[in-house]
Structure 1
Amino acid sequence: MLHPGRLLRLTLLPRSLSAMAAPPAGASGQCFAAEGPGPDLVCFTLSASSSGRPEPRCFVPAPGRCYSLCVPAAPSVPAARLHRRLQQRLRQEPFGRCQVLGLLCYGAQAALEKGFLIQDPQGGPETERALEELLRGLGELPPPLGVYEAGERGELWQCLWALRGAGGRELLHRARVVAAEEPPLHPAVPGLRHAAVFHSLEAARSVVEQCTSFIPEATAVLDLVDKCPKHSKKGEFPVIVIEGLDATGKTTVTQSIKNSLNALLLRSPPACVSQWRKTFDVEPTLIRRAFYALGNYIVASEIAKASTESPVVVDRRYRCEFRYPTYLHIGKITIIKYWHSTAAYAIATEISGKVQNLPPTHHEVYQWPEDLLKPDLVLLLTVSPEERIRRLQGRGLEKTEEETELEANSLFRQKVEESYKRMENPGCQEVDASPSREEVLRTVLYLIKKHCGSL
């Protein structure tokens, strides 16, 4: 429970100051979920009543203090860049002594906001001054500053202040903070299809379009997309997707096919956009995911052509063509890492906490985009965590933030794998990639023959 003498300061970035000027009518309005170091969310809400439910659990005991900064989580590039700017700034001094956690602001009448809960174990004035300076530097109309203070009977109140010029403040509203139960769905679930997992070309394209003024390569990506058919259609031969976490053997499997069948491999993402991966990998997740989503549509146009003209296997580093031996009786075929990986990593990143927080089975977020070329078979390669670590040692490859998180965080890895397994239309068929290369290859070829031999 909250210590009676403790102070919690919360900063919000609402859609407008007028929307926040009046106190909420009850605890069913604006809600908050602090993403703590453990798997559970700490949820609380605002109430106009001075009595009722207890205060929420907190992270830092007195004399420590907590602060937070939030921005809208809508699919807006300016909001995503502001969130990234705050994230980077909070990694610098004088915030080095603080622990920064995720914070979500949500409600029935309000769009999701994302931010950071800054835990200052010392509770000194330096952190508060630095945060206020940071907020005032964001623009002409700084985000409001919510100050959470203990009342006479130990209850917790929110005083929302608008920051004015010359260090002044104006009180917007005052409301009590009370504990709340975790919502049935993780607060980020409703917005996944709009800001994380793109289910149409236009949704991803609209994000990249917002980047052309500060990412010159964005224009080149859009030009490539515009040259692709609106709805790429597969040819008469099957399309096979090989998915899996890093170091599960995706490249080994395709190389095994190459060696045993005299095959060549086609790079994915395609070479025409992979040259810009480093540029987009350092951008906020919204921009990065939109880039890779458009890459899927570009690849789809290549798959459509390959499945009618020439046999091709696709991996991330090699390019070539091949024909399967006649005993498979499937002719031309395409193998590629595709949409499932883009979606699985996005879902696992956005949904904090335990695996149970993921969207439920059969949720719409797991459905294949209607305007993206669909594969005939998806194989999900899996190995034990210990085997993955062994294979990763000494690879020395550059990693995105999500890949680094995957390597360090077992819970995140579990969420990625579970997201893969919940994909539908088409779903993933698991393949144990732990045995020898020869055994895994036999399994893969058997599954291809079983599911695609008659296509």
Structure 2
Amino acid sequence: MARRAMSVLRHWSSRVFSVEVDGAPDYFSIQEAHLGEEVPKVFREVPKSDKCYSVLVCGSDRIRTAKFYAQLKETLLRELPVRCDVFPMSSFQPNVKDSLINGYFLRHNSVSSFRSESFLRNLLLEEPVLVCSYVRGEDGRVWTQHLWSDADSETTETSTQHFVVPSEAPECHPSTLNIINSDVFYSFEGAFGVLQKCGDIIPEAKSVMELLPRRADARREPDFPVVVIEGLDATGKTTLTESLKNTLGATLLRSPPQRLSPFRARFDQEPPLIRRAFYALGNYMTAEQVGQECMKTPVIVDRFWHSTAAYAIATAVSGPVSNLPAEGSEVYRWPSDLLQPSLVVLLTLDPEERKRRLRDRGQGKTLEEKELDHNRLFRLKVEEAYRRISGPPCVVVDASPSADQVLQQVQLVIRGKCHL
């Protein structure tokens, strides 16, 4: 059994489990004795003819685990009976960093349970997973969880059982426990280490590493101001950055840099761990360019670390804006080895106007940009994450007036903050 699984099992009885049905999490825990607690909501809604299972991914190899989990839902839907509901699931120790493991909760008709259990048993023997079955008591008011053992494929279940009971929602959304250096990277070495391990399975990773600086060089005081322009697509960043380049006599750079463009489509297909590491390293490549140019002229940067972090945080944390880490959380801190800009301007725009501009552009978009178009909640989380990032914080500018008016407003901000 993998080391990670062994570690998880040592604390199994102290873990909390979460199942998301229609985007709303239902939390439950386990205990050795039943004291008359209610049945957790996710089990109350299970038809009498259905059986329930869970599969949690807990491999020690981060890269293999990330890729396996990314493919797991498709595998389950393909291999399990047609009438099988698959819901996102996670397990964690409250307030314990890096304790989160993800997986799926399965619910389907008991008529086909033999086929399902056969498949899950094989999965347990071949992959870094923990499998549980859930058994309903005769009166339907008590459920028990049975953790399967990979050491005894005949019985599949351990000799012990735990009763399933409701659990209160944690103070912090469970996904925040694993954000640091999994969804958001705070050092060059952390992101580089992920791509380095991908070299054998993603040929493009080696090509990207050849383009990277040998180390991060965080210049504390640029000779000339460095101004980053942030904002969702179609807020006018490109028009504004070009105008600022001309009016300030500045160098214009973009993150990720053009040199990474041939690889973006490939890494956009990868699980979050690998995709985030790729974009984080793009910031360090841009920082190297900024460090060279800001010795000669002011530098304008079209997107930087704020975008990388804000999209990652908003994607990792499901549910409403209130689920985001609290303002001041360490997940919003600036990487210590990444060049800090002199000023960050965040362009905001009315959602309907932004949609109109996107339609007029008709350009291809990433999956996350498409998500912004139809998911108001996701957009709100991205914008709020932008605002909470420190070092330096964003100065918000309304991008709805004409391009000339927005330019004048931003120039005033730059003069006031950077004395240009």
Equivalent in the alignment of 2:129: 143
Q: Could you tell me how far apart the structure 2 residues matched to 1:172 and 1:144 are?
A: 16
Shift of residue 102, structure 1, vs aligned partner: 2.0
Equivalent in the alignment of 2:398: 432
Among candidates 363, 366, 382, match of residue 400 of structure 1: 366
Equivalent in the alignment of 2:70: 84
Q: Could you tell me how far apart the structure 2 residues matched to 1:343 and 1:266 are?
A: 19
Deviations 1:174-230 (A, max 9, x none): 100000000111112122113111111111111111101111221222232244554
Q: Could you tell me how far apart the structure 2 residues matched to 1:408 and 1:67 are?
A: 32
Q: What secondary structure is seen at the aligned counterpart in 2 of 1:431?
A: strand
Q: What secondary structure is seen at the aligned counterpart in 2 of 1:169?
A: coil
Q: What secondary structure is seen at the aligned counterpart in 2 of 1:235?
A: coil
CA separation of 1:431 and 1:141: change in aligned 2, threshold 3 A:
closer
Among candidates 97, 105, 112, match of residue 100 of structure 2: 112
Q: Does 1:449 align with 2:415?
A: yes
Among candidates 20, 30, 49, match of residue 35 of structure 1: 20
Q: Could you tell me how far apart the structure 2 residues matched to 1:400 and 1:17 are?
A: 38
Among candidates 10, 32, 45, match of residue 48 of structure 1: 32
CA separation of 1:343 and 1:48: change in aligned 2, threshold 3 A:
same
Equivalent in the alignment of 1:8: none
Q: What secondary structure is seen at the aligned counterpart in 1 of 2:190?
A: helix
Equivalent pairs, count: 415
Q: Could you tell me how far apart the structure 2 residues matched to 1:275 and 1:125 are?
A: 50
Structural RMSD (CA): 3.0
Q: Could you tell me how far apart the structure 2 residues matched to 1:58 and 1:408 are?
A: 28
Equivalent in the alignment of 2:196: 209
Q: Could you tell me how far apart the structure 1 residues matched to 2:235 and 2:385 are?
A: 16
Q: Could you tell me how far apart the structure 1 residues matched to 2:258 and 2:11 are?
A: 54
1:282 maps to amino acid: Q
**Structure 1 unaligned runs (5+)?**
1-11, 312-331
Shift of residue 279, structure 1, vs aligned partner: 1.2
**Structure 2 unaligned runs (5+)?**
none
Q: Could you tell me how far apart the structure 1 residues matched to 2:125 and 2:220 are?
A: 47
- Structure (1 or 2) with the greater helix fraction: 2
Q: Could you tell me how far apart the structure 1 residues matched to 2:87 and 2:338 are?
A: 36
Q: What secondary structure is seen at the aligned counterpart in 1 of 2:341?
A: coil
- Indicate the larger mover: 271-280 or 168-177: 168-177
Answer whether contact 2:175 2:316 (CA < 8 A) is retained.
yes
Deviations 1:7-47 (A, max 9, x none): xxxxx9993369648973xxxx1111122324x42100001
- Indicate the larger mover: 216-225 or 360-369: 216-225
Shift of residue 64, structure 1, vs aligned partner: 4.5
Shift of residue 242, structure 1, vs aligned partner: 0.8
Shift of residue 307, structure 1, vs aligned partner: 0.5
- 5 Å-filtered alignment, 1:129-208, equals 129-130=115-116, 132-133=118-119, 136-137=122-123, 140=126, 143-153=129-139, 154-163=141-150, 169-208=156-195
Answer whether contact 1:14 1:20 (CA < 8 A) is retained.
no
* Structure 2 length-normalised TM: 0.88
CA separation of 1:403 and 1:171: change in aligned 2, threshold 3 A:
same
Q: What secondary structure is seen at the aligned counterpart in 1 of 2:5?
A: coil
- 5 Å-filtered alignment, 1:227-238, equals 227=214, 230-232=217-219, 235-238=222-225
- Indicate the larger mover: 373-382 or 408-417: 408-417
Q: Could you tell me how far apart the structure 2 residues matched to 1:278 and 1:152 are?
A: 53
Q: Could you tell me how far apart the structure 1 residues matched to 2:71 and 2:369 are?
A: 21
Equivalent in the alignment of 1:304: 291
Q: What secondary structure is seen at the aligned counterpart in 2 of 1:162?
A: coil
Equivalent in the alignment of 2:375: 409
- 5 Å-filtered alignment, 1:209-358, equals 209-227=196-214, 230-232=217-219, 235-257=222-244, 265-309=252-296, 311=297, 332-358=298-324
Equivalent in the alignment of 2:355: 389
CA separation of 1:98 and 1:258: change in aligned 2, threshold 3 A:
farther
CA separation of 1:73 and 1:404: change in aligned 2, threshold 3 A:
farther
Shift of residue 403, structure 1, vs aligned partner: 2.2
Deviations 1:157-178 (A, max 9, x none): 0112225787752425310000
* Structure 1 length-normalised TM: 0.82
CA separation of 1:209 and 1:172: change in aligned 2, threshold 3 A:
farther
Answer whether contact 2:195 2:278 (CA < 8 A) is retained.
yes
CA separation of 1:180 and 1:306: change in aligned 2, threshold 3 A:
same
- 5 Å-filtered alignment, 1:4-83, equals 15-16=4-5, 20=9, 24=13, 29-38=14-23, 40-58=24-42, 60-62=45-47, 63-72=49-58, 76-83=62-69
Shift of residue 96, structure 1, vs aligned partner: 6.3
Deviations 1:335-363 (A, max 9, x none): 33100111111111111111111100100
- Indicate the larger mover: 152-161 or 410-419: 152-161
Q: What secondary structure is seen at the aligned counterpart in 2 of 1:393?
A: helix
Answer whether contact 1:233 1:304 (CA < 8 A) is retained.
no
CA separation of 1:183 and 1:450: change in aligned 2, threshold 3 A:
same
CA separation of 1:51 and 1:409: change in aligned 2, threshold 3 A:
same
Identity of aligned residues (%): 40
